[in-house]
């Protein structure tokens, strides 16, 4: 058996940029495919990577900002036609992610929303999102089966909210699932007012891969990532943002959302991971900062291997010589 990581997209922030797709990754465990975040271009990148849509088993959303979930409708709906076997529809694609927050996040005097969209449910969670996708595309799901043989739409997808334990219970980690081959564990991370936001750890017989999601430096993430083979961690260059127009409260908010390039190496060191792979770059433009520059600066203070991720990057576990 092998476990393979594929970076499908490595851009941070919602604004589309040329030359880098939005944040998304796949973990292929003995031909079962798990997708972590579903940003801009994820379905196309999935195809470009040679992955099989029939093998897509589950999607894990770190949080519900659009740059992490915006192409979920396409990932579910485009390959719908192939989601059937000899015995009928394949098992539904499971979409795991944050639940609705207990309270709707509010801003402060400088940053606040004006119109509240959909006030009757202003902060929907993952199952709400999946239901909304099905409702919004009901035309396609109800009408296309009249002109083409399609699998039962009722078997296409299941949304599953991840409920976090109360911190008083002693551990911040929650077991998402464990089927004896793949074990997925999550913790809440700190991403400004995007609450809840999650990081995920995948353990297989081949090794372990952790996805930070978007977070500031977070002790629970460091605990989750202990001894992992690979930590895929988002990275921001706040100094670059400051030199390109961010200042004052705007820069402070960015620092409350992200891990800076000067901090991520010590996160990897404290976690004791083997390889740090950078992703979700901010700035996202590939020519803003070179891969060598990202890796050199991010690797400060980390004794393992640091790699600047790029769309299409692959890693196979178990590691050679492990």
**Structural contact between residues 316 and 209, judged by C-beta atoms closer than 8 angstroms:** no
| DSSP H or E stretch at residue 139 | helix 138-147
**Minimum separation from the CB atom of position 72 to Zn ion (A):** 14
Question: Would you give the binding string for Zn ion spanning residues 168-207, x where CB under 5 A is met?
Answer: ----------------------------------------
Which are the contacts of 160, defined by CB distance < 8 A and separation ≥ 6?
A: 94, 95, 96, 97, 126, 127
Among 4, 37, 214, 263, binds Zn ion (CB under 5 A): 214
State yes or no: residue 37 binds Zn ion (CB under 5 A).
Answer: no
Stretch that binds Zn ion, among 60-68, 135-143, 155-163, 239-247 (CB under 5 A): 60-68
- Closest CB to Zn ion among 214 and 260? 214
Query: Residue by residue, what is the 3-state secondary structure of 131-172?
Result: HHHHHHCHHHHHHHHHHCCCCCHHHCEEEEEECCCCHHHCCC
Of 179, 193, 168, nearest to 254 by C-alpha is 193
- Closest CB to Zn ion among 141 and 210? 210
**Minimum separation from the CB atom of position 108 to Zn ion (A):** 21
Stretch that binds Zn ion, among 25-33, 213-221, 224-232, 303-311 (CB under 5 A): 213-221
Query: How many whole angstroms separate alpha carbon 104 and alpha carbon 319?
Result: 43
Pairing label, strands 93-98, 56-60: parallel
Q: Which residues of 47-61 are buried (b: 16+ CB within 10 A; e: fewer)?
A: eebebebeebbbbbb
**Minimum separation from the CB atom of position 84 to Zn ion (A):** 34
Stretch that binds Zn ion, among 59-67, 84-92, 109-117, 199-207 (CB under 5 A): 59-67
**Minimum separation from the CB atom of position 54 to Zn ion (A):** 29
State yes or no: residue 71 binds Zn ion (CB under 5 A).
Answer: no
State yes or no: residue 67 binds Zn ion (CB under 5 A).
Answer: yes
- Closest CB to Zn ion among 16 and 89? 16
The residue ranges that bind Zn ion (CB under 5 A) are 67, 214
């Amino acid at each position: 058996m092998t476990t393979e990581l594929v970076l499908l997209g490595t851009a941070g922030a919602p604004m589309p940029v040329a030359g880098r797709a939005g944040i998304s990754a796949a973990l292929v465990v003995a031909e079962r495919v798990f997708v972590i975040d579903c940003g801009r271009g994820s379905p196309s990148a999935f195809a470009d990577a040679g992955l099989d849509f029939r093998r897509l088993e589950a999607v894990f959303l770190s949080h519900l900002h659009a740059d992490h979930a915006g192409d979920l409708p396409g990932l579910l709906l485009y390959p719908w036609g192939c989601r059937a076997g000899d015995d009928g529809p394949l098992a539904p694609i499971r979409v795991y992610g944050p639940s609705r927050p207990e309270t709707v996040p509010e801003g402060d005097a400088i940053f606040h929303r004006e119109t509240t969209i959909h006030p009757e449910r202003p902060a929907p969670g993952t199952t709400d999102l999946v239901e909304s996708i099905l409702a919004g595309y009901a035309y396609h799901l109800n009408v296309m089966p009249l002109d083409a043989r399609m699998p039962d739409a009722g078997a296409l997808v299941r949304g599953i909210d991840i409920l976090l334990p109360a911190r008083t219970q002693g551990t911040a980690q929650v077991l998402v699932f464990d089927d004896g081959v793949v074990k997925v564990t999550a913790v809440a991370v700190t991403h400004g007012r995007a609450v809840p936001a999650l990081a995920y750890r995948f353990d297989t017989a081949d090794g372990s891969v952790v996805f930070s999601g978007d977070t500031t430096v977070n002790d629970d993430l460091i605990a989750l990532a202990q001894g992992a083979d690979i930590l895929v961690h988002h990275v921001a260059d706040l100094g670059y943002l400051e030199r390109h127009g961010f200042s004052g409260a705007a820069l402070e908010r960015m620092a409350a959302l992200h891990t800076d390039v000067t901090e991520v190496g010590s996160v990897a060191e404290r976690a004791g991971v083997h390889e740090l792979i950078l992703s979700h770059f901010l700035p996202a433009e590939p020519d803003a900062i070179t891969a060598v520059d990202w890796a050199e600066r991010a690797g400060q203070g980390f004794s393992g291997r640091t790699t600047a991720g790029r769309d299409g990057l692959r890693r196979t576990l178990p590691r050679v010589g492990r």
